[in-house]
């Protein structure tokens, strides 16, 4: 991951967050018969929505065979029950004691676990990135874990991909450093497969409620994007992928369409604010999330950010930086923490990877802006005159010629946030820099575009 860091500071973003510790050459893009790009790269996304299981859960005592099928196909819940909005701890939840490593405080929690079925993807995986949507009232939090499978056998152990809460009253929201063995390693929010064969994954979510908490957490969705590396292993230069797209590869409804995403400059917060990663220079990810939330009319209401003092130019951005902040890494750019924060405002949100701008066009044509992560050097992408090992921007649309129109928060003021950049160099910087990472934020009432055959959303 490498996102959100101040593009011009050495503490820049999550330089090691996503496990992509090098730039790689983007493979050539061609089109499949359904109009989607075939980049020579496998990406697969799968998500579980828990209210959909309510009818099955109601029938399970009548039909044990059906219950076994539910466990195989929809995962297994222990100490959790299905409520109207998702899974929440029940009376059978176990008890665990947890000490927050960032505060030293210890508390006892009721804990329930949902474990997904083993989910095959059909290719050898190099990276897995989870994301989720949940409610965590005061005193509640969740833990996300992943492991790999191949040939019907678990080929890695369980790795923790984050301790998350919407606020910081129960635990300090944090990734879990120091997890590395001869099979895989955790780079904050990404599981990087190193020495194992992984062709399937399994996710485990633990919901924790402090014993004196008046309400419990609710898990609504959890998903994982699995991917291979982009082909090649060389520095992507400004000429990479420079050929114009072929007519019909993308979505004609996106060319010439620019969504009216508000423009917020992260650098307005670079002076006077030093909390949550050093202030605005490292806040590209929460600034982008704030722009897209406000595009949908879903941003936090003033009562939610009334604690920000002084309010400054964009108190909602300060609010987002605090509530996306990863206390282990020391910055607010953890990918699933950002989408989980967005989901607390009533939108659907998840992390995925896209193979090309042709896939991104499908979202713009559907009226959905994307938050994308790129890495580049000054001059590699004309119009972006700074160096970054990882930076988040909003893809707001495309010119009539197919060039991306960005809301780049690394600007001195709001007026200079909007930038148009050449398609080929930007696509290369996005694919090589983060493997095509994208945050998808949208109201449930706005449909997603149809996915390709190898679905990555």
Supply the pLDDT for residue 40.
61
d(CA 324, CA 337): 5
User: In the prediction, which pLDDT does 17 show?
Assistant: 29
Closest CA to 228 of 182, 197, 183: 197
CA distance 126 to 322: 31
Q: What are phi and psi of 246, to 5 degrees?
A: -75, 145
pLDDT at 114: 98
Q: What pLDDT, on the 0 to 100 scale, is given for residue 183? A: 98
Which residue is associated with the tokens 């998350």? 164
Half-sphere exposure of 42 (CA within 13 A, CB side): 13
Q: How far apart are CA 28 and CA 51, in angstroms?
A: 41
Render pLDDT for 362-402 as a digit per residue (tens, 0 to 9). 999 999 999 999 999 999 999 999 999 999 999 999 999 99
pLDDT digits (tens, 9 = 90+) for 186-227: 999 999 999 999 999 999 999 999 999 999 999 999 999 999
- How many whole angstroms separate alpha carbon 311 and alpha carbon 291? 17
> What distance lies between CA 205 and its chain's CA centroid?
16
- R_g (Cα) of the chain, nearest Å: 21
pLDDT at 232: 37
Specify whether the CB–CB gap between 12 and 389 falls below 8 A.
yes
pLDDT at 69 (0 to 100)? 42
Write down the pLDDT at residue 280: 79
Query: What is the rounded distance in angstroms from the CA atom of residue 120 to the CA atom of residue 123?
Result: 8
**Residues 6 or more apart in contact with residue 205 via CB below 8 angstroms:** 113, 114, 132, 142, 143, 144, 145, 219, 222
> Which residues are CB-contacts of 411 (< 8 A; sequence separation ≥ 6)?
265, 266, 267, 417
Q: Which domains, from first to last, does the chain contain?
A: 44-227 (2.60.120), 231-442 (3.90.70.10)
Question: Measuring CA to CA, which residue among 230, 334, 247 is closest to residue 282?
Answer: 334
Task: Give the list of residues 6+ apart from residue 157 with CB closer than 8 angstroms, or none.
Answer: 147, 181, 183
Q: What is the pLDDT of residue 52?
A: 53
Q: Which residues of the chain have pLDDT under 50?
A: 1-38, 53-72, 231-248
Longest distance between any two alpha carbons in the chain, whole Å: 65
The backbone torsions φ and ψ at residue 433, rounded to the nearest 5 degrees and listed phi first, read -75, -35
Give the β-pairing of 94-99 and 348-353: unpaired
Alpha-carbon separation of residue 165 from 80, 206, 388 (angstroms): 18, 12, 29
CA 265 to chain centre: 21
CA distances from 142 to 110, 227, 230, 298 (A): 11, 25, 32, 24
Cα separation of 132 and 46, whole Å? 12
């Amino acid at each position: 991951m490498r996102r959100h860091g101040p593009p011009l500071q050495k503490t820049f973003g999550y330089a090691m967050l996503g496990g992509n510790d090098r730039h790689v050459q983007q493979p050539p893009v061609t089109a499949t018969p359904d109009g989607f790009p075939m980049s020579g790269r496998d990406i697969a996304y799968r998500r579980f929505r828990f209210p959909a299981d309510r009818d099955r859960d109601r029938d399970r005592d009548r039909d044990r065979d059906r219950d076994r099928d539910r466990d195989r196909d929809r995962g297994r819940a222990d100490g959790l029950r299905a409520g109207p909005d998702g899974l929440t701890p029940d009376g059978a939840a176990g008890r665990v004691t947890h000490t927050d490593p960032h505060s030293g405080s210890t508390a006892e929690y009721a804990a329930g676990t949902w474990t997904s079925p083993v989910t095959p993807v059909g290719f050898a995986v190099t990276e897995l990135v989870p994301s989720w949507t949940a409610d965590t009232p005061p005193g509640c939090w969740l833990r996300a874990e992943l492991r790999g499978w191949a040939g019907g056998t678990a080929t890695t152990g369980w790795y923790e991909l984050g301790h998350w809460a919407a606020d910081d009253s129960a635990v300090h929201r944090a990734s879990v450093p120091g997890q590395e063995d001869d099979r895989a390693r955790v780079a904050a929010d990404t599981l990087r497969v190193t020495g194992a064969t992984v062709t399937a994954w399994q996710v485990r979510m633990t919901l924790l409620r402090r014993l004196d908490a008046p309400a419990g957490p609710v898990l609504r969705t959890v998903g994982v994007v699995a991917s291979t590396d982009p082909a090649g292993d060389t520095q992507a230069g400004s000429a990479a992928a420079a050929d114009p797209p072929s007519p019909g590869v993308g979505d004609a409804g996106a060319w010439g369409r620019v969504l009216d995403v508000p423009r917020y400059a992260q650098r307005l917060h670079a002076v006077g604010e030093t909390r949550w990663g050093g202030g605005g220079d490292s806040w590209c990810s929460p600034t982008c999330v704030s722009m897209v939330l406000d595009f949908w009319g879903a941003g936090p209401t003033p009562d939610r950010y009334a604690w920000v003092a002084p309010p400054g130019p964009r108190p909602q951005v300060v609010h987002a930086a605090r509530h996306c902040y990863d206390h282990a890494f020391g910055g607010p750019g953890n990918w699933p923490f950002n989408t989980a924060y967005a989901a607390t405002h009533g939108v659907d949100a998840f992390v995925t990877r896209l193979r090309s701008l042709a896939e991104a066009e499908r979202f713009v044509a559907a009226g959905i802006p994307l938050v994308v992560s790129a890495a580049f050097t000054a001059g590699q992408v004309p119009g972006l005159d700074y160096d970054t090992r990882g930076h988040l921007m909003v893809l707001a649309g495309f010119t009539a010629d197919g060039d991306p129109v960005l809301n780049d928060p690394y600007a001195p003021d709001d007026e200079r946030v909007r930038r148009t950049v050449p398609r080929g160099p930007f696509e290369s910087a996005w694919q090589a820099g983060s493997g095509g990472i994208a945050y998808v934020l949208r109201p449930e009432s706005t449909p997603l575009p149809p996915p390709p055959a190898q679905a990555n959303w």
